[in-house]
Amino acid sequence: MKSCLSILLAVVLTVANQAFAQNAKTKRRPATTSVLSATTAANQNTGRIFSQKATNVPASAPFSIQMSAISWTGAPTLQSYAMGQFQGYLLLIGGRTNGFHGTSDNESTFPTKYSNTNMFVLDVANQKVWSLPVPAAVKGQLSSSNMEYEQDGNVLYCIGGYGSSCGNDSAACYQTFPTLTAINVPNAINAIQSNNPGALAASILAVTDERMRITGGSLHKLGNWFYLVMGHNYNTQYRGGVTGIYSQQVRRFQIGNTGSSLSIQNYQAYNAPWSGAFLSDQFHRRDLNVVETVMPDNTTGLTVYGGVFTQQSGAYLNPIYMFQTPAGSPYFGIDTTYKQSFNLYDCAHIGLYSSRTRQMMTSLLGGITFYYYDKKGKLEESNLLNFMPFSNWATTIVRNADFTTYEIPQQTPTLPGYIGSDAVFIPATNTPIYPGTKGIIDYDKLGSGRILLGWVYGGIVATAPQSSEFNPTFANNKLYEVYLNR
């Protein structure tokens, strides 16, 4: 009997390991983790719990999303990159030129031959591309994957990122970079377009700071403060079953930028404010969607959707809200009732707000999902035979004024492939943006019918729900038009 159970357990573990060891950059089982140290006291914030269930949930979303690929073969194949924008031009930095990295213990899973060592400028309207190599002084970080980034005015700030520091696949070279870099976007774009490496190097500043050694998190600016949200420090060569050091924090600071030097100022770190095994672990997330949010009182905050890994090796299902007090300090809320079903991994996303209904709507486009529709259209939960598959669906999460939340997955039309993971949505120049926000669409100012919202570029494209030798994944160079139908 013991022998039979051992064989059964071995089979189950084999199937589980095969399931966990696939899908874009997340399919591995976490080991024991520790928390990065902070230089200031944590838990200076308070936490709120929302537990009211939404009622009168509509059968369908107020709109549907449709995507179609543009015929453009000249764009670079990139995923997990950083992006800046200026006058219709896109500046693309870092990321990788291949798909899912794999989890083999016998080889480098982030080989440097697939690192993006160029900086690209894209003219989407006219389908033109320019490039220059990353300047040598910042090549390590700005060729890395999964940097956190945020544009403030004309400056693109990049933090952390994972990759090799010496340009080869020696195990000792792999790290998360402890670096904050500032790039003057218009100057960098002009330098790349004019093929001027010296001017490109002059457009970049960098400073080393251990508190910035984070990858797979998210960077946003609210008011006068930058927020580095969660993520982890992977400080060795990536291998399946080896876990990085999760920050388990939201880090708040200001950036001093004199034009010739950078500094981190007024730094504070916040741990999850809730007690208990389930709630105290909620900041243990990476590869998540952190979206700009309009709150019902018309203030701007952030919402965290999804992310991995729980202590059970899965994704986080409960959203976290980050508010700002009138004094500017953050405090946090978590919805313990609503559980996200679709697209829990970092993916292209669109935020829309209606001041008329005070509803915040967030559409997540593809990526990796927890629930999925089978071939017969039946809704299924992630399982060992199809564990967190790649998604070809859009889903829309609606948060009401009373902070009740519901989700309406879009079964049809599907997306044009298993796309969206580590991709970016780019609003069209004539898309109305809600006042006081950087990129939330003013839903009440949209017309009716079929409306072009913008584009989705890059990311990972899979050939099947589960990746394998026979179902490979790739970095995507397609540009997709995104339409809203209402």
pLDDT in tens, 395-454: 999 999 999 999 999 999 999 999 999 999 999 999 999 999 999 999 999 999 999 999
Q: Assign 264 a pLDDT band (cuts: 50, 70, 90).
A: very high
Secondary structure (3-state) at 167: coil
Q: Over range 15-44, report the average pLDDT.
A: 36
Alpha-carbon gap, residue 197 to 239, rounded angstroms: 35
* 75-to-132, 367, 401, 480 alpha-carbon distances in Å: 14, 21, 41, 12
Is residue 3 predicted with pLDDT exceeding 70?
Answer: no
- pLDDT of 84 > 60? The answer is yes
pLDDT digits (tens, 9 = 90+) for 98-143: 987 655 555 557 889 999 999 999 998 899 999 999 999 999 999 9
351: confidence class by pLDDT, cuts 50, 70, 90 = very high
pLDDT surpassing 90 at residue 43? no
Confidence of residue 22 (pLDDT cuts 50, 70, 90): very low
Asked if pLDDT for residue 174 goes beyond 70, the answer is yes
Asked whether the predicted pLDDT for residue 44 surpasses 70, the reply is no
CB 241 within 8 A of CB 29: yes
- Residue 40: band (very low, low, confident or very high) from pLDDT cuts 50, 70, 90: very low
pTM score, two decimals?
0.90
45 pLDDT higher than 80: no
Name the least confident of 72-81, 231-240, 288-297: 231-240
In 3D space, the residue among 396, 391, 416, 430 whose CA is nearest the CA of residue 481 turns out to be 416
Which residue has 């935020």 as its token pair? 351
3-state secondary structure of 63: coil
2-485 CATH, one of 1.40.20.10, 2.120.10.80, 2.60.40.2380, 3.40.50.300:
2.120.10.80
- Give the number of other CB atoms < 10 A from CB of residue 41: 10
**Dihedral angle, C-alpha 92, 132, 234, 293, nearest 10 °:** -20
State the average pLDDT over residues 278-299: 95
| Band of pLDDT at residue 242, cut at 50, 70 and 90 | confident
Overall average pLDDT of the 198-213 stretch: 98
Give the 3-state secondary structure of residue 82.
strand
How is the chain split into domains, by residue range?
2-485
388 neighbors 368 (Cβ within 8 angstroms): yes
**Would the pLDDT of 24 be above 50?**
no
> Cα separation of 278 and 114, whole Å?
38
Residue 212, classed as helix, strand or coil, is helix
For residues 3 and 324, which has the higher predicted lDDT (pLDDT)?
324
Residue 102 has a pLDDT of 58
Amino acid 46: pLDDT? 76
The pLDDT assigned to 238 comes to 82
> For all residues of the chain together, what is the average pLDDT?
88
* The pLDDT of residue 358 is above 70: yes
Contacts of 326 (CB under 8 A, 6+ apart): none
- Residue 207 sits at the vertex; the CA angle it makes with 137 and 235, to the nearest 5 degrees, is 85
What is the reported pLDDT for 324?
85
Helices within 40-184 (DSSP H only):
139-142
SS3 state of residue 7: helix
What pLDDT is recorded for position 331? 92
Tell whether the model's pLDDT for residue 466 goes beyond 50. yes
Q: Which two tokens stand for residue 74?
A: 């000249």
Does residue 26 surpass a pLDDT of 50? no
